[in-house]
Structure 1
Amino acid sequence: MAASDLWRLSATETARKIRDGEITAEDAVASAIGRMHAVNPGLNAVVEDLGDSALERARELDKARGNGAEPGPLHGVPVTIKINVDQKGHATSNGIPALAEAIAPANAPVVDNLLKAGAVVIGRTNTPEFSFRADTDNPLFGRTQNPWGAHISPGGSSGGAGSAVMAGIGALAHGNDIGGSLRFPAAANGAVTVKPGLGRVPAWNPGQKAERGLLAQSMSVQGLIARTAGDLALSMPALIAPDPRDPFHVPVPYVGPALEAPIKVAFTRECFEYDLHPEVAAALELAADALSDAGYIVEEVDPPLARQAGEDGYRALMGEVAALMKPDIDALGSDTIKQIFAVYFDEFPPFDGPRLLEAMARRTHYARAWSLFLEDYPLLLTPFLPQPFFRPDRDAEGAEGVREALGSAIWSYSMNFMGLPAGNLPTRLAKLPQGPQPINVQIVGRRWREDLIVRAMRSIETRIGGLYETLWDRMA
C-alpha cells in the first residue's frame, strides 16, 4: 500500500503496523491529513484543522518508539475530537458564535485518555448549536455534509464525527450521546458505534462554568464512532480508563465475565406508533440471521416499557432543559435552533416541579425492569429508526419533521434514560429513489457489558461486511 493510502487502514491495522515497524506514526498521520485536505472541503466535517500539531506529535511518538518506549494501544492512530469537548488551547464553541473564543484551559478526560493511549488528534469536528439536534448545521461553521450525498443528513449531534470517519478522515472519531448523538451519525453515515452505559467513560469539561443538570449527567456519555466494530474493541479499554475528575465514573473492566453459551438475543421489530419501513425490516433480518449463523440464539420477544421509558425520559430531559438551558438558547441561539426547541417543547411537553421529580424517580423502575429482562436476554436487537435516515434540515420542518427525525427514535433515547449501553451498525445499503442509503440497526446490552455488544457486532460484520469501501468508491 502506498504511503498516501494509509488512511484506508483501520485503527487496529494502523496500530499493528506501527508497532511492527512496517510504517511510522508520521506516515499514518500524514496520510490521514492528506485525506482530510482532499475531501473535507466538500464535507465540512472537520472545522478546525490540527494537521501541523498532529505531525509534530506523530514525530515525537516515533522518536519515543525508537528510544524503546512501549507503544500504547492507539499509538499513532489518527483521531478527531468533537468541538463540544475541551481540548487544551482550543475553543469549545459547541457550534455557538458567542463561544467561538471559549478556549479550554485543559483537556477533558476523554481527550486525555485517547492521548495516553497514543492517539493523534488531527482535527475537531462539527456539531449543531448546543449539540442538541439530530442534524448538523450551525451559524458558526455551517452545514456538515453526508459523504453518501446531499439527500441524507449527516446526523447529529456528532454529525461531523460520523461524516469524517466514514470519509476516511481519521480511523476513530470522538462523539457524545445524550439521546442518540453517537448513534444518529452512525446510522446516517453507515458507521459503527457503541453508546457506552452510564458511568462507563469519565466525563467533564474543565472550562465549564457550572455543573450540568442531573439528567444531563445521567443521560449523556462520551464515546467513539468507527468504521468497524473491531476498532471499538481496540479502543474502548483506553477510553474507559478512570479519571478522578469524574467522581461517578465506574471503574469496571471492559471485558466482563464470560457468559454461558449460546447467548440469547432478544429481537424486536416494534416501532410503536410508527411504521416499519421494508428496508429497515430487511436490515433487521440480515442482522438476526448473521447472529444466528454466529451461534447466538435469536428469539423474537416484546421488551418491557420501552415506550414509557422513552416518553418519560425525554419529557424529563426537556423539563431540565427548559429550566437550565433555555435562557442560554434564547440569548445565544439562532432563530432556527429557537424554533426547533419550541417544537421539542410541544412534542415532548416538559415535566416540571413534582412531575419532574416523579419522572426521575420512575427511571429506577424502568431500569430495574430492563435489568431483569437482560438477565434472560443479555442482548437485544432493535430498529434504530423505523425508516431510512431523513434529509438535511428535516428536524427544522415543524412538528412533522421533529416526529420523523427525533420522535420516532424511541429505541434511542429510552436507552439513555435508563443508562444502558447500545451499539449501532450498518447491515444493508438501501437503493432508494433519492440515492443509496445505509440502514443501521441497534444492539442493546446489559449494563457495563459494552464488550458483549461489540462482540455481537463483530460477528455481524464478519458475515455482512462494512460499507466504507463502497462509499470510498463512490467518492473517488
Structure 2
Amino acid sequence: MTDKDIWRLDAHEIAARTRTGDVTVEEVIGDAVQRMNAVNPDLNAVVQSCADTAIERARALDKARAGGAEPGPLHGVPVTIKVNVDQTGFATTNGVPAFKDLIAPDDAPVVANLLKAGAVVIGRTNTPEFSFRADTDNPLHGRTHNPWGRHVSPGGSSGGAGAAVMAGIGALAHGNDIGGSLRFPAAANGAVTVKPGLGRVPAWNPSQKAERGMLAQSMSVQGLITRSAADLHLAMPSLIAPDPRDPFHVPLPWQGEALDGPIKVAFSREMYGYDLHPEVDAALTAAHDALRDAGYDVQEVELPDVFDAGRTGYRALMGEVHTLMKTDIDTYGSNTIREIFGTYFSEFPPFEGDELLAMMAKRSHYARQWSLFLEEYPLVLTPFQPRPFFGPDRDTQGPEGVDEVLGCAVYSYAFNFMGLPAACVPARLANLDAGPQPIPVQIVARRWREDLAVDAAAAVEARAGRMCEELWQRMD
C-alpha cells in the first residue's frame, strides 16, 4: 500500500498511524477527498462535500499534535454525516426540497462527539424524503446507487452512508435507525453496523422546532456504519459520550463485564410465514458455524414472538407518524413519498386513540419477555430479511413491494420497538442472476451490551471475510 491508498485503511489503522505521526492527517484527508471525487459522481452517496473545511481541520489537527496536544481516539479519521442530522453551517435537508435552507445553528451531539474524538467530516450523505424509506432517493438530492451495482438498492434510510463507506469514501459513516435505517444499508452494501439500544448515543437536533413523538424518541437511535467490526469497537466509545442536551442518555461504558463462557447464543430460522431464500439460509448456517468455532454455545431454540412485537411496534409508530407527521408529508413530500406512506398505512394500519396508548404501553410487555429470555441467552442469531436485498424503488410498487421491503422485516423493527441492540454483519457473498450482493445476518444482544453483539459480528466477519476488498476489485 502506498500513501495514495490511505483511503483503503480502516479507522483503527488510520488513527494508529496519525497518532504516531507515521502519516499526517492532511495526507489522510487529502486522499479521502480524492477517493470521494473519483467514485461519488457515479454513486451520489455524498450529496454535499465538506472538502474545504476538512482540509482546514486536518491542518489544524496536525499543528496541534506537533505542538504537543494529545490526539483523540479518532485522530484524523475521515467520516461522513447523514443529512438528517445537524452539522453547524450546513442544511439539515432530510431529503426534502422545502428544507434545503434549514441551516443548523450548532452540531448535534453525535457530530460533536465525533469531532471531540478527532474525526474529520468530509461530506454529508444522502437519505430518502423524511428519512422514511428502506431505499434512498429524493427530489432534492436524487438517487444513491449501490457500489455493487444498480441491480440492488443501497438501502435506507442511511443509504448514502452505507454506499459511501463501502466505496471507500471515509472510514466511518454516521447513520441513524428507527426501524432498520442502519441495518438496511449495512445489509445492502456489505458493511457492518450495530443499532445501539435505547439511550446509548445522545441525540438531538438543535435546528428542530418541536420535540419528536415519544415512539420516535424511543425507537430512533444514532450510530455508525463501518467496513469492519473492529472499527465499531474503536469508534462507539466516543459516540456514546454524554451530552446534557439529551436528558435520557444512559452514561454506561462501552465495554461491559466479561460473561462466564461459553456465551450462549439462541439461533432461529423462523420467518413467520415468509419463505427463507437458500442464500439467506446458507448465510445463517455460515454464521452459526463461525460462532460455534469461535467458542460460542449456539443452540437452535424457539424465540419469544418477534412477529407480534414487530407488527405491533410498527403499527404504533405509524399511528404516531399519522398524527404528527402526515401534514408535513402531504404538504412538503413528493407524490412518490405520499403514495409510499399511503401503502405503509395500509400495510401497517395505524393504531389510534386509546388503542395507540394501549399498544405503546404493551411495549414493556415485549421488552420484559426478551429481557428474561436474554438472561439465559445473552445473544440471538437471526435472519435480517428472508431473501436477498431488493432492487431500487421496490417500495414504490404497491403493497407487494412494501411487503418485500418492510412487511417481512420484523426482525429489524421489532428490536427498535423494544430498544435492544442489534448488529448486522455480512456472512456470505451471493452471485445471483442479477449480480453479486452480500447476504447478512443479525445478532441481537442484551440491553446495554452492544459490545457483545460486535464481538460476535467480528467472529462471523473472521470466517466470511470483509466484503470491501472484493467490492473494490469489482469497482476497479
Question: Normalised by the shorter chain, which TM-score bucket?
Answer: over 0.9
Q: 2:105 corresponds to which residue?
A: 105
> What is the rounded CA distance, in whole Å, between the counterparts of 1:453 and 1:274 in structure 2?
25
Output the TM-score relative to the length of structure 2.
1.00
CA deviations on 1:152-178 (whole Å, 9 max, x unpaired) are 000000000000000000000000000
2:397 and 2:315 map into 1 onto residues whose CA distance is 21
The percentage of aligned residue pairs carrying the same residue is 71
Q: Which residue of 2 aligns with 1:152?
A: 152
The 5-angstrom pairing of residues 70-469 of structure 1 reads 70-469=70-469
Q: Which moved more, 1:455-464 or 1:365-374?
A: 455-464
Contact 1:127-1:137 at 8 Å conserved across structures: yes
1:425–1:441: 8 Å Cα contact kept in structure 2? yes
| 1:50 is the counterpart of 2:50 | yes
Do 1:107 and 1:206's aligned partners in 2 also have CA atoms closer than 8 Å?
yes
SS, match of residue 81 in structure 2: strand
Task: Please tell me the residue identity of whatever aligns with 2:299.
Answer: E
Q: Distance in 2 between matches of 1:122 and 1:286?
A: 36
Contact 1:378–1:446 (8 Å) recurs in 2? yes
Structure 1 range deviating more: 230-239 or 299-308: 299-308
Q: Distance in 1 between matches of 2:174 and 2:411?
A: 22
Task: Give the equivalent residue in structure 2 for 1:9.
Answer: 9
What RMSD over aligned residues (CA atoms) do the two structures have, in Å?
0.5
Q: Distance in 2 between matches of 1:303 and 1:229?
A: 26
Runs of 4+ in 1 over 3 A off after TM superposition: none
Give the corresponding residue for 2:23: 23
Q: Secondary structure at the match of 2:355?
A: helix
Match for residue 36 of structure 1? 36
Structure 1 runs not aligned, ≥5 long: none
Give me the TM-score of the superposition, normalised by structure 1.
1.00
Q: Which amino acid aligns with 2:402?
A: V
- How many Å separate the matches in 1 of 2:181 and 2:285? 25
Aligned AA (2:434)? Q
Summarize the alignment of residues 54-65 of structure 1 with structure 2, pairs less than 5 Å apart. 54-65=54-65
Match of 1:424, SS state, is: strand
Query: Structure 1 CA distance, aligned partners of 2:285 and 2:199?
Result: 32
SS of the equivalent of 2:428 reads: strand
CA deviation profile, 1:336-378 (whole Å, cap 9, x unmatched): 0000000000000000000000000100000000000000000
Which sections of structure 2, spanning at least 5 residues, go unmatched? none
SS of the residue 2:137 aligns to:
coil
Aligned letter for 1:246?
Answer: D
- Alpha-carbon distance, 1:137 to partner: 0.1
Q: Partners in 1 of 2:98 and 2:461 — Cα distance? A: 43
1:91–1:100 CA contact under 8 A, matched in 2 = yes
CA contact (8 A) 2:426 2:464 kept: no
Counterpart code for 1:354: D
Q: 1:463 offset after TM fit, Å? A: 2.4
AA of the residue aligned to 2:89: G
Structure 2 counterpart SS, 1:469: helix
Contact persistence 1:429–1:437 (CA under 8 A): yes
Q: Any idea what the Cα deviations from partners look like across 1:379-412, whole Å, max 9, x if unmatched? A: 0000001000000000010000000001110000
Q: Please say if residues 114 and 238 of structure 2, whose CA atoms lie closer than 8 Å, have aligned partners that are also in contact.
A: yes
C-alpha contact 1:4 1:34 (8 A) present in aligned 2:
no
Output the amino acid matched with 1:148: W
SS at match of 2:154: coil
SS, match of residue 6 in structure 2: helix
| In 2, Cα distance between equivalents of 1:235 and 1:196 | 13
Amino acid at match of 1:291: L
SS at match of 1:198: coil
Q: Residue type of the partner of 1:211?
A: E
Inter-partner Cα distance in structure 1 for 2:169 and 2:272: 37
**Structure 2: how far apart are the matches of 1:50 and 1:348?**
39
Q: Is residue 197–residue 447 contact of structure 1 (8 Å, CA) maintained in 2?
A: yes
What is the alpha-carbon distance in structure 2 between the residues aligned to residue 13 and residue 384 of structure 1? 29
Q: Is the 8 A contact 1:131 1:157 kept in 2?
A: yes
SS of residue paired to 2:146: coil
Kindly state the Cα deviation for residue 126 of structure 1 after the two structures are TM-superposed: 0.1
Q: Aligned partner of 1:21: which letter?
A: G
* 1:39 CA drift (Å): 0.1
Alpha-carbon offset, residue 464 of structure 1: 2.2
User: Separation in 1 of the partners of 2:337 and 2:178?
Assistant: 17
Q: What do residues 12-70 of structure 1 show as CA deviations (whole Å, max 9, x unaligned)? A: 00000111221111111111100000000000000000111101100100110101111
- Looking at structure 2, the residues matched to 157 and 392 of structure 1 have their Cα atoms a distance apart, in angstroms, of 13
Match of 2:122, SS? strand
Separation of aligned partners in 2, 1:88 and 1:347: 38
Q: Which amino acid in 1 is paired with 2:182?
A: L
Question: Contact (CA 8 Å) 1:192, 1:424: kept in 2 or not?
Answer: yes
Question: What is the letter of the counterpart of residue 384 of structure 2?
Answer: F
The 8 Å contact of residues 175 and 182 in structure 2, kept in 1 or not, is answered as yes
CA distance in 1, matches of 2:334, 2:96: 9
CA distance in 1, matches of 2:273, 2:84: 33
- Structure 1 position 257, deviation (Å): 1.1
